[in-house]
Chain A
Amino acid sequence: MKKEITFTLNNEEVIVEVDPKWTLIHLLREVLELTGTKEGCGVGECGACTVIVDGEAVNSCLYPVMEVEGKTVATIEGVALPDGTLHPIQQAFIENNGVQCGYCTSGMIMSAKALLDKKSDPTEDEIRTGISGNICRCTGYVQIVESIQLAAERMKK
Chain B
Amino acid sequence: MENLLHVGKNVPRTAEIDKVTGHAVYIDEYKRPGMLYGKILYSQYAHARIKSINTEKAKKLPGVRAVITGYDIPDVRVGFLGDQTVLKRDIVRQFRDEVAAVAAITPEIAEDALKLIEVEYEPLPAIFDPIEAMKPDAALVHETDARGRPLRSNILPLPWKFSAGDVDKAREESTYVVKHDVTTPWINQCCMGTSGCVAEFDSNNNLTYCAQTNVIFGAKQRIATYLRNIGLKGKKIRVLNPVVGGSFGTKLDTDIYEFICIQLALKTRKPVKIRFTREEEFAALPPRQASRFTIEQGCDKEGKLTFRKVDAILDNGAYTSWGATTPSVMMLPISSMYRVPNVSFQATCVYTNNIYSQAMRGYGNPQAAFAVETSMDLLAEKAGIDPAEFRLINRNHPGDVTPMGLKITTCPLEECINTVKEKIKWDEKRGKKNGRGVGMASLIHVAGGARVYLSDGTGIRIKVNEDGEVDVLSGSTDQGQGSPTVIAQIIAEATGFRPEDVNIVFGDTALGLWDAGTHASRHTFVAGNAAVRAGELIKRQILELAVQHIPKLVKRSLKQQQKKNPDFVPPELDYTLIDSPDKLELKDRMIYPREAPDHPYFKTEVGKILTSGLHVGVGESKAVAAEVFWDPPTQMLNAEMKGNYSCTYAFGTAGVEVEVDKQTGEVKILKLVSAHDVGRAINPTLVKGQIYGAAYIGIGYGLTERVQVVDGKVVNANFRDYKILTANDNIPVEAVIIEDPDPAGPYGAKGIGEPGLVPTAPAIANAIYDAVGVWIKDLPITPEKVLAALKAQGQ
Contacts and interface: CB of A to CB of B under 8 A. Distances in A.
Nearest to B106: A30
B20 A105 contact: yes
B191 interface: yes
Given A45-B718, A45-B719, A40 B193 contact: yes
Which of A40, A46, A99, A137 has the most B CB atoms < 10 Å from its CB? A137
Contacts of A136: 192, 727
Which of B20, B245, B718, B726 has the most A CB atoms < 10 Å from its CB? B20
Contacts of A129: 727-728
Interface residues of A, number: 55
Contacts of A80: 21
A94 interface: yes
A90 B20 contact: yes
B567 interface: no
Interface in B235-289: 243-248, 277-278
Nearest to B20: A90
B22 interface: yes
A155 interface: no
B726 A137 contact: no
Contact of A137 (B16, B23, B192, B728): B192
A86 interface: yes
Interface in A86-128: 86, 90, 93-97, 99-106, 109, 124-125, 127-128
B14 A35 contact: no
Interface string B187-199: 0011111100000
Interface residues of B, number: 55
A97 B685 contact: yes
B395 to A, nearest CB: 27
Interface string A65-86: 0000000000111011000001
A125 B730 contact: yes
Contacts of A109: 20
Interface in B1-22: 10, 12-14, 16-17, 19-22
B719 A140 contact: no
A139 B693 contact: yes
A97 B733 contact: no
B727 A138 contact: no
A143 B21 contact: no
Contacts of A143: 685, 688-689, 692
Interface in A39-70: 39-43, 45-46, 48
A107 to B, nearest CB: 9
A100 to B, nearest CB: 4
Given A79-B21, A90-B20, A140-B733, A101 B278 contact: no
A76 B194 contact: no
Given A100-B693, A103-B26, A131-B727, A137 B482 contact: no
B367 to A, nearest CB: 19
Nearest to B696: A140
B686 interface: yes
Contacts of A40: 192-194, 278
Interface in B684-721: 685-686, 688-689, 692-697, 718-720
B457 to A, nearest CB: 26
A145 B696 CA distance: 14
A149 interface: no
Nearest to A107: B192
Contacts of B724: 135, 137
Given A40-B193, A125-B730, A96 B17 contact: no
A76 B21 CA distance: 6
A77 B20 contact: no
B29 interface: yes
B585 interface: no
B726 A101 contact: no
B269 to A, nearest CB: 24
Nearest to A39: B28
B246 A101 contact: yes
Given A100-B482, A101-B192, 16 more contacts: A35-B25, A38-B26, A42-B278, A93-B20, A94-B12, A99-B20, A101-B191, A102-B19, A102-B480, A109-B20, A128-B728, A136-B192, A136-B727, A137-B248, A138-B689, A140-B692
12 contacts: A37-B22, A40-B193, A45-B718, A95-B12, A97-B13, A99-B13, A105-B20, A124-B730, A136-B727, A137-B192, A137-B248, A138-B192
Interface of A: 29, 34-43, 45-46, 48, 75-77, 79-80, 86, 90, 93-97, 99-106, 109, 124-125, 127-129, 131-145
